[in-house]
A = this chain, B = another copy of it.
Amino acid sequence: MRKASWIRSPHCSGRLGGDIGAARGDGKSMTKKTIRTMEELAREIDVSRPTLSRYFHDPSSVRERTRAKIETRLATVDYVPNFFAVNLNRKRTRLIGVVIPHLNDIFQTNLINSVEFAAGQSDYKIIVQNSHNDPQREVAAVETLRSMNADGILISPLGQASDTAMLRRAEAQLPVMLIDSRAAEGAGGFDFVGNDNGQSIGLLVDYLVRSGHDPVFLPMPPVNMSALERTEAFRAAMARHGQVGEVLETGGNGYDWNFEAYGKDVMSAFFAAGRYTRATVLCASDRIAMGALKAAHDFGLFPRGKIGDFRIAGHDNDVLTRFLHPGLTTVEQDVPRIAREAVEILLRRIESPRKKGEAPVSRSIPARLVLRESA
């Protein structure tokens, strides 16, 4: 059976998709006849139902003249095949399921866009599910994608909160791969591509230490394993400088993914107590830094609009970060590469599943330092 699904987007490459797209794209009138079923379509085109079916599974399997006839007439009608019927007995749906933990997050949306682009390069579509930082909804998201016969799943998991057994059961059916954040300690065995937090936090610590006061670390709420990794990376980097890194005590559990509110509230409380107003605060993400910046402005830590003793840095270089004031020093995650390599590995697993005992792939992608005014 031909692997390429012919229901793909008109703008995609690929013979048939392209033809349908071109026909539809210019169809600015309502004159096209709407066709509902394959039977109707076969009658309309004047070919047999089996021939039409063969054509859709593999256009080269019908005679050249028949194909030309089908394609010419297809362009004159409005027919959208039933995805369920087409995919019911297919080996491949050419769908990649993507599970993310929080949608109101410009890093996650950028990741989704990058995964969609990378998948599209191989003529795959994505279906996104939001786990809403809820272990039960994470289970439901994976089950929905399994029920839709996604060919594989990319998940940014909740870490210690995830039902890892569920992920393993899913993996018995289809490749399940982690992106952006890892599974909990001891829940190894999954392929992974994400940022190299050791390297990226190291870059920031090295820069901050050599350019001013030693930084303190404002950690992420413990929403996933990246949160823990970045804190450990900070401690390790400070240790390389012969220092014990100070990690701020935030009690940040209640904020979940509301990072801006967390950054603002936590730092406002410190500033109100006169603490850290002349510190260098390394934030575990730009979104946290956005909230901390707001607190710093509220407390007048940038006299005359300039940077004073208070310095701040972030992590990610989100698409909004360059619009913060003062400009935020940060590290940029290589999101396009993370997405590209994740899709590449997943597609390989779809073609040939990991063998028993074969070690999972684990790729940590380096980030680059972005210097702006804030530190």
Task: Write the residues of chain A forming the contact surface with B, with a CB cutoff of 8 angstroms.
Answer: 7, 9-11, 21, 24-25, 27-30, 32, 34, 36, 78, 80-88, 103-106, 109-110, 112-113, 116, 125, 127-128, 130, 134-137, 139-141, 143-144, 146-149, 163-166, 168-169, 172-173, 260, 264, 290-291, 293-294, 297-298, 300, 302-305, 319-320, 322-326
For A300, the chain B residues whose CB sits under 8 A away are: 305
For A25, the chain B residues whose CB sits under 8 A away are: 135-136, 139, 163
Copies in the complex: 2
Chain B residue with the shortest CB-CB distance to A85: B88
CA distance A134 to B302 in the complex (A): 42
CA distance A36 to B173 in the complex (A): 9
Contact A104 B10 (CB under 8 A): no
Return the contact of A83 from the options B84, B163, B164, B305 (Cβ within 8 A): B84
Residues A140 and B88 in contact in the complex (CB < 8 Å), given A291-B323, A304-B304: no
Return the contact of A84 from the options B148, B305, B323 (Cβ within 8 A): B148
Give the distance to chain B from A43, nearest Cβ to Cβ, in Å: 19
For A116, the chain B residues whose CB sits under 8 A away are: 130
Closest 6 CB pairs of A and B: A9-B140, A84-B84, A83-B147, A297-B325, A80-B146, A103-B109
List 7 A–B pairs whose Cβ atoms lie within 8 Å, in order of A's numbering.
A7-B144, A32-B169, A34-B169, A80-B147, A82-B149, A84-B148, A85-B88
For A109, the chain B residues whose CB sits under 8 A away are: 103-105, 109
Contact A113 B106 (CB under 8 A): no
CA distance A137 to B125 in the complex (A): 12
Contact A11 B134 (CB under 8 A): yes
Q: A9-B140, A84-B148, A116-B130 are in contact. List 11 more A-B contacts (CB 8 A).
A: A7-B144, A9-B136, A10-B143, A24-B143, A34-B172, A34-B173, A80-B173, A104-B110, A294-B325, A305-B305, A320-B320
Give the distance to chain B from A306, nearest Cβ to Cβ, in Å: 10
Residues A147 and B7 in contact in the complex (CB < 8 Å), given A106-B104, A106-B106, A166-B24: yes
CA distance A291 to B36 in the complex (A): 48
CA distance A297 to B327 in the complex (A): 10
CA distance A226 to B113 in the complex (A): 24
For A36, the chain B residues whose CB sits under 8 A away are: 173
CA distance A168 to B293 in the complex (A): 48
CA distance A169 to B81 in the complex (A): 14
Residues A27 and B165 in contact in the complex (CB < 8 Å), given A143-B80, A323-B260: yes
For A80, the chain B residues whose CB sits under 8 A away are: 143, 146-147, 173
For A30, A304, A325, the residue with the greatest tally of chain B CB atoms inside 10 Å of its CB is: A325
Contact B293 A325 (CB under 8 A): yes
Return the contact of A10 from the options B85, B139, B149 (Cβ within 8 A): B139
For A84, the chain B residues whose CB sits under 8 A away are: 83-85, 87-88, 148-149
CA distance A98 to B139 in the complex (A): 22
Give the distance to chain B from A322, nearest Cβ to Cβ, in Å: 8
For A147, the chain B residues whose CB sits under 8 A away are: 7, 80-83, 86
For A86, the chain B residues whose CB sits under 8 A away are: 147
Return the contact of A320 from the options B27, B164, B166, B260 (Cβ within 8 A): B260
For A149, the chain B residues whose CB sits under 8 A away are: 82-84
Chain B residue with the shortest CB-CB distance to A290: B323
Return the contact of A112 from the options B103, B165, B291 (Cβ within 8 A): B103
Give the distance to chain B from A54, nearest Cβ to Cβ, in Å: 20
